[in-house]
């Protein structure tokens, strides 16, 4: 019993120490990533909205940028965002085709994919080697 209590206390202290060692910017990235993971699964199962998915994927990109990602790392973050929006757009189109979503969802998906792709193109144009 005491051993289990000590182990639990040590694990809690270790996770608190780790959280204190990471910057608020990195904590923001981590939080956004957790939300993206949950919201993506919820959208795939039909329990989250497309807007939630698009918004949180954009927030994840912005958090990475604000945490100091530059150059190739920032381009990679934008590429991940664009890829995610492309995949979500395909799912939205399938839903529209099957009648489980309105036509406006496909247009929203197109808008957000283009936003991500335009951001990616701008970054590639300004980054050396692209």
Secondary structure string (H, E, C) spanning the chain: CHHHHHHHHHHHHHHHHHHHHCCHHHHHHHHHHHHHHHHHHHHHCCCCCHHHHHHHHHHHHHHHHHCCCCHHHHHHHHHHHHHHHHHHHHHHHHHHHHCCCCHHHHHHHHHHHHHHHHHHHHHHHHCCCC
In a domain, residue 34? The reply is: yes
Of 27-36, 98-107, 121-130, the one with minimum mean pLDDT is 121-130
Give the domain range for residue 43: 24-126
Instruction: Look at the chain and report how many structural domains it folds into.
Output: 1
Confidence label for 116 from pLDDT (cuts 50, 70 and 90): very high
Q: Is residue 13 part of a domain?
A: no
Residue 7 lies in a domain: no
pLDDT at 8 over 90: no
What is the reported pLDDT for 44?
A: 87
Mean pLDDT of 19-33: 91
* Res. 59: pLDDT tops 80: yes
Does any domain span residue 90?
yes
Residue 118 within any structural domain of the chain: yes
Q: Give the model's confidence band at 4: pLDDT under 50 very low, under 70 low, under 90 confident, else very high.
A: very low
What does the pLDDT read at residue 20? 62
Is 58 part of any domain? yes
In-domain check, residue 1: no
Distance CA 84, CA 36 (A): 10
């Amino acid at each position: 019993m005491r051993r289990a209590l000590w182990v639990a206390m040590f694990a809690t202290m270790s996770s608190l120490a780790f959280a204190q060692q990471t910057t608020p910017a990195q904590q923001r990235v981590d939080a956004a990533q957790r939300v993206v993971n949950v919201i993506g699964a919820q959208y795939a199962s039909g329990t989250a909205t497309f807007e939630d998915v698009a918004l949180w994927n954009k927030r994840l990109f912005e958090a990475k940028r604000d945490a100091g990602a530059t150059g190739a790392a920032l381009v990679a973050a934008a590429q991940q965002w664009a890829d995610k929006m492309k995949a979500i757009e395909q799912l939205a189109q399938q839903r529209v085709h099957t009648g489980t979503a309105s036509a406006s969802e496909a247009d929203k998906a197109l808008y957000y994919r283009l936003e991500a792709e335009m951001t990616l193109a701008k970054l590639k144009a300004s980054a050396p080697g692209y």
